[in-house]
Each structure stands twice: as structure tokens, then as C-alpha cells.
Structure 1
Amino acid sequence: MLVKFFSRVNCPLCVEGLHTLKLVQEDIPFDIEVIDIELDDRIHEKYMLMIPVVELGDQVIQYGKLDYATLMEYLNEA
């Protein structure tokens, strides 16, 4: 299972969100693809006000302030 994590450099909320996602990864096996929204104009326009964003497939699981319980519940059912 591949989970996409959209973020940008110098984003404290993104650092915290990636840490939370990695905590979930300790309990559920999945790969994380970290994507810097600054490198793609289309992605930047789509997510610039939402980051960090966690996506599975084409569906946004959670964005902004990420929490362990929500991520765990969703990824456990995937």
C-alpha cells in the first residue's frame, strides 16, 4: 500500500504530520511517498492551503492537523 504525503520545506505542521504518519506505519505496513508541492505547479495550486495532505489512491484521507486515530482507522480498513 502506498500513501502519498504532500508537504513543503519549512512547514512545521508537515514535520509533525509526517511524524504522526510514521507512528501509524509502525502498526500498519505501508510505504510513504513524500511529495514536495513546490516542485509541481498543479499540485501546489491544489494543496497549497491544505498541507500536509495524506492521500491513498486518489482519495484524501486527512489534511492540516493530522491525528493518529483517524489515520490508523482509515489505513487499517484499506
Structure 2
Amino acid sequence: MLNLTYYTRDNCQLCNEGKLQIRLALSELRDNVVKLTEVNIDNDDELQEEYMVRIPVLSDGGNVIQEGILDFVTIYDYVKDNYR
């Protein structure tokens, strides 16, 4: 199982659109392939400093999969190629 983290913030249209791309990509894969944790950076000063101008950010551990504008194909290919 992949443990992905999705960094977002309140009132972020790109974050909402990114979430739709993630859901679409994951819906094409087997169940239980990915555990997705959503983290709101507005609740943490350190995360705001790191991600404020980069959100939304989808990562697998320390590896950033995509940031800014997320797309279905990149997410799907990453999960398909890295599922353990």
C-alpha cells in the first residue's frame, strides 16, 4: 500500500481541483492500493512556510509527485508504477 499525503489549505480552488484528479486516478485502481492523508497547512506554521506557494502538493513520503496543478495521468502512472 502507498501512503500518500495531500497538502492543501482552506479556500483553495487548485486544491479542490487536485482532489478531484486524485479521486479520479485512484478510482481506476484496485481497492486498498493507496492510503491518502489530507493535511491542511493552515493549521501548522512550519508546513505553511514549506508549502504556502506550492500547494496543492501530493507526496509519497519525501518524494513530491506533483505540486500546483495536479493531473490524473501523472497520479495514476505514479501509483501504478510504485505500488508495492
TM-score band w.r.t. shorter chain:
over 0.9
Identical-pair percentage = 33
Structure 1-normalised TM-score?
Answer: 0.94
- Look at both structures and tell me which one has the larger radius of gyration over its CA atoms: 2
Q: Which residue of 2 aligns with 1:64?
A: 68
Q: Which residue of 1 aligns with 2:25?
A: 24
- Equivalent AA in structure 1 for residue 72 of structure 2: Y
Partners in 1 of 2:28 and 2:6 — Cα distance?
A: 18
- Equivalent AA in structure 1 for residue 61 of structure 2: G
Q: CA deviation at 1:67?
A: 0.6
Gapped regions of structure 2 (runs ≥ 5) = none
Q: 2:51 aligns with which of 40, 47, 64?
A: 47
Q: CA deviation at 1:37?
A: 0.5
Partners in 2 of 1:58 and 1:71 — Cα distance?
A: 16
- Equivalent AA in structure 1 for residue 14 of structure 2: L
CA RMSD of superposed structures (Å): 0.9
Gapped regions of structure 1 (runs ≥ 5) = none
Moved over 6 A (4+): none
Deviates more, 1:11-20 or 1:22-31: 22-31
Partners in 1 of 2:3 and 2:23 — Cα distance?
A: 13
Partners in 2 of 1:35 and 1:77 — Cα distance?
A: 24
